[in-house]
Chain A
Amino acid sequence: MNRATLTLLTLLLICALSLVAAQQRARKLFLAQERAQIEERKLNQEWLRLEYEQRNLSKSARIRDVARNQLHMSPISPERTLYLREVK
């Protein structure tokens, strides 16, 4: 075996090993990405739920009830309103 063959063999071995390592890395990254995607979906759903919840708490019927019964507020009327016109 001459020197060139030996060098090539070593190179081949290094390549083979790094291929294995790269594949392993790719797989790991893929799994991480998968997990992140699932997380993203979950968070998206969570956001939608929170948005819905917030909407439920701020719906007109509830606001009117709370304002009238808990905060003892009454509807505004032009009589008690001071109209200000914005000038630039």
Chain B
Amino acid sequence: MRPVGFSTSPNLVLRLPMWRSRMMLFLLFFVFMLLLIRAFWIQGPGNAFYEAKGVRGTQRELELPASRGKILDRNGQVIATSLEAKSVIAYNDTVPDDLSAEKVKSLANLLQMSESELRKKLKEERKQIFLKRQVDPEVAQKIKQLEIPGIGLNNEYRRFYPEGEAMAHVVGFTNVEDRGQEGMELSREKELAGHPGQRRVVVDRLGRVVEEMAILQLPQNGKDLNLSIDSKIQFLAYNAVKNAVEQHHAKAGGAVVLDTQTGEILALANYPSYNPNDRKYLTGEQLRNRVLTDSFEPGSTMKPFTVSLALEKGQVQPNTQMVIGAKYLIGPKPITDTHPYGVLTVAQIIQKSSNIGTAKLAMNTSPQEMWDLYTAAGFGQAPKIGFPGAVSGTLHPYKKWVPSDQARIAFGYGVSTSLFQLARAYTIFARDGELVPLTIERSPEFKPGTSVISAKTAIEMRGMLETVTEPGGTAIKAQAEGFRVGGKTGTAHKLVGKGYGNKYRAYFAGLAPISAPRIVVAVMIDEPTGGSHYGGDVAAPVFSTIVSETLHTLNVLPDAKVKQMVLQDKTPEEIRTANVQTQHVVLKR
């Protein structure tokens, strides 16, 4: 027998069943198919998911910051600006529990909070928590240098108001999110607010930006806002009101200064005020912009309008004599004057502020005529200057007036107005009968007004208003050095509950210089106590201060005689080389 090798021995040949190899082949094929399907899935329909994952690792969307617009005064001086600040955030799950006491102490110091307070904040459940917002950049830098893990800094803006209290009610303020809350900041929010942009970038392993993919949205900085306010005039008006309120132990005060030619509001001052730079003062009474949001009975400051109507109708002339008497019986309570007068001319009715005289003039006109004139002068209508909360005051429809209403409305009772409306109404005397449209945004061109009374009446009224500030008038204290001024005092009983108590409001509304009125100023002092409460004693001196300083600031030529005053015509060259020791004021023609 031929020897058989081990490997070829037929006895050892295993005959495997055919199905096993087939099965193997099928399984292998099946698994490969699965792999193929999976690969197809990843490359094809399921690709978006993986792509997104890949992008997430390398691409970021970053914010492009945009800043809020500045608010500037008429001379381009900044009155509100946004500066970069940081907010300090703690990511509480990253902050180590065994943070050294020294570091906690220095962090607490930098954040100006107590150590225990800080520790409590770090223990809170929330994942991330603002430790402090609007931190100065220098402080933020120091916090960064502490290198505490889990303490991060975020960019944000903080609003600064360099003029502080003096301008507070005009500009208002923003909240921590940089959104306007009061004043111009609120009413011009749309234009002032910046809109941050967004861009997509590629970052490397360390998070550094290496490429910009796309700008998804361009950042839009807020627009700057140019107000008509003059910081200097605002400041002096605020100070004049503040001093008067303090001197007369009054509750509050306000003043408005208007440019009669352009209709621009040069100053709008309120006291008490607040510092908008400090958040802790941003609540309560002092936020009220009394000049615009408080309405009150204007008292005698209403008389010039009533007398204008009588003049306008040609019923009387400024020198027409009228019998006044001690009492005028109309309605439930007789009308009286502070001093009884026998006979007064119409001009003297204004000069002495006679209630009886005014009421008698009013009773010769119809309620509708009175109502029409008051309405044309803006009473009962909110000023449209885009200020939040500006009130309209009340002027009841003339059909509801009974005769005693008509007589009292004539001298400013039973009608209410804001100080701002009152100032606006006085522009008709300054502008030869035209009511000037007012604006709080800078627009230094002459504005045409709407005619309310004739130029003749307005000029006559200016003459009468001037006599108020002359000897024999109710407001000698309104005189301003160098300038002829005119105006009307007002002292109104305040309504307390249902009747009039012993509380007063003192007003003065007027214009200057009389020869060519440039400004209208209205002043209100609320509840003066201790000493006189009359408009002529309390509000008129404020008017005087504001007028003389404002006209000086505006380089207006004095129209009253003053000692030593020299007026010379000079060329610019001569002005420059003029060798005079006195102050030079160059007046542009």
Chain A residues proximal to chain B, CB less than 8 Å: 27, 30-31, 34, 41, 45, 48-49, 51-52, 55-56, 58-61, 64, 75-88
Q: Which residues of A contact B566 (CB under 8 A)?
A: 82-83
**Is B569 in contact with chain A by the CB < 8 A criterion?**
yes
Question: Could you tell me which residues of chain B, from 140 to 182, have a CB within 8 Å of some CB in chain A?
Answer: 160, 162-164, 166
Asked if B210 contacts A30 (CB within 8 A), the reply is: yes
Distance to closest chain B CB from A38 (angstroms): 10
Known: A51-B78, A84-B584. A75 touches B549 (CB 8 A): yes
CA of A83 to CA of B209, assembled, Å: 64
Over the window 71-83 of chain B, the binary record of Cβ atoms lying under 8 Å from chain A Cβ atoms (1 yes, 0 no) is 0000001100111
CA of A83 to CA of B578, assembled, Å: 12
Known: A52-B83, A61-B166, A78-B481. A86 touches B583 (CB 8 A): no
Asked if A86 contacts B571 (CB within 8 A), the reply is: yes
CA of A41 to CA of B64, assembled, Å: 11
**Is B12 in contact with chain A by the CB < 8 A criterion?**
no
A60: contacting residue among B166, B210, B563, B565, CB under 8 A: B166
Known: A55-B77, A85-B569. A77 touches B586 (CB 8 A): no
Distance to closest chain A CB from B363 (angstroms): 44
Q: Which residue of A lies closest to B78 (CB)?
A: A55
Known: A83-B585, A85-B569, A86-B572. A52 touches B160 (CB 8 A): yes
Q: Which residues of A contact B1 (CB under 8 A)?
A: none
Asked if A86 contacts B589 (CB within 8 A), the reply is: yes
Q: Which residue of B lies closest to A54 (CB)?
A: B78
- Identify whether the interface residues of B are mostly helix, strand, loop, or mixed: mixed
**Is B567 in contact with chain A by the CB < 8 A criterion?**
yes
Q: Which residues of A contact B548 (CB under 8 A)?
A: 77-78
Q: Which residue of A lies closest to B570 (CB)?
A: A84
Q: Which residues of A contact B235 (CB under 8 A)?
A: 59-61, 64
Distance to closest chain B CB from A49 (angstroms): 6
Q: Which residues of A contact B160 (CB under 8 A)?
A: 52
CA of A88 to CA of B582, assembled, Å: 23
Distance to closest chain B CB from A51 (angstroms): 6
Q: Which residue of A lies closest to B480 (CB)?
A: A78
Q: Which residues of A contact B568 (CB under 8 A)?
A: 82-85
Asked if A48 contacts B570 (CB within 8 A), the reply is: no
Distance to closest chain B CB from A21 (angstroms): 17
Q: Which residues of B contact A76 (CB under 8 A)?
A: 552, 583
Q: Which residue of A lies closest to B82 (CB)?
A: A48
**Is B588 in contact with chain A by the CB < 8 A criterion?**
yes
CA of A6 to CA of B562, assembled, Å: 103
Known: A51-B81, A81-B582. A86 touches B565 (CB 8 A): no
- Identify whether the interface residues of A are mostly helix, strand, loop, or mixed: helix
Asked if B562 contacts A78 (CB within 8 A), the reply is: yes
CA of A8 to CA of B162, assembled, Å: 71
Known: A55-B162, A82-B580. A77 touches B78 (CB 8 A): no
Offer 26 A-B interface pairs, CB within 8 angstroms, sorted by A.
Answer: A48-B81, A49-B83, A51-B81, A52-B83, A52-B162, A55-B77, A55-B78, A61-B164, A77-B482, A78-B481, A79-B562, A79-B563, A80-B564, A82-B584, A82-B585, A83-B565, A84-B570, A84-B575, A85-B586, A86-B570, A86-B586, A86-B587, A87-B569, A87-B571, A87-B589, A88-B572
Asked if A81 contacts B565 (CB within 8 A), the reply is: yes
**Is B494 in contact with chain A by the CB < 8 A criterion?**
no
Over the window 194-229 of chain B, the binary record of Cβ atoms lying under 8 Å from chain A Cβ atoms (1 yes, 0 no) is 000000000000000111100000000000000000
Q: Which residues of B contact A78 (CB under 8 A)?
A: 481-483, 548, 552, 558, 562, 565
A77: contacting residue among B83, B481, B575, B584, CB under 8 A: B481
Q: Which residues of B contact A30 (CB under 8 A)?
A: 210-212
Q: Which residues of B contact A56 (CB under 8 A)?
A: 162
**Is B260 in contact with chain A by the CB < 8 A criterion?**
no
Q: Which residues of B contact A55 (CB under 8 A)?
A: 77-78, 81, 162
Q: Which residues of A contact B482 (CB under 8 A)?
A: 77-79
Q: Which residues of A contact B587 (CB under 8 A)?
A: 83-86
Known: A27-B210, A45-B84, A60-B166. A83 touches B567 (CB 8 A): yes
Asked if B571 contacts A80 (CB within 8 A), the reply is: no
Q: Which residues of B contact A41 (CB under 8 A)?
A: 65
Asked if A59 contacts B210 (CB within 8 A), the reply is: no
Q: Which residues of B contact A64 (CB under 8 A)?
A: 235
Q: Which residues of A contact B395 (CB under 8 A)?
A: none
**Is B550 in contact with chain A by the CB < 8 A criterion?**
no
CA of A27 to CA of B589, assembled, Å: 61
CA of A49 to CA of B160, assembled, Å: 10
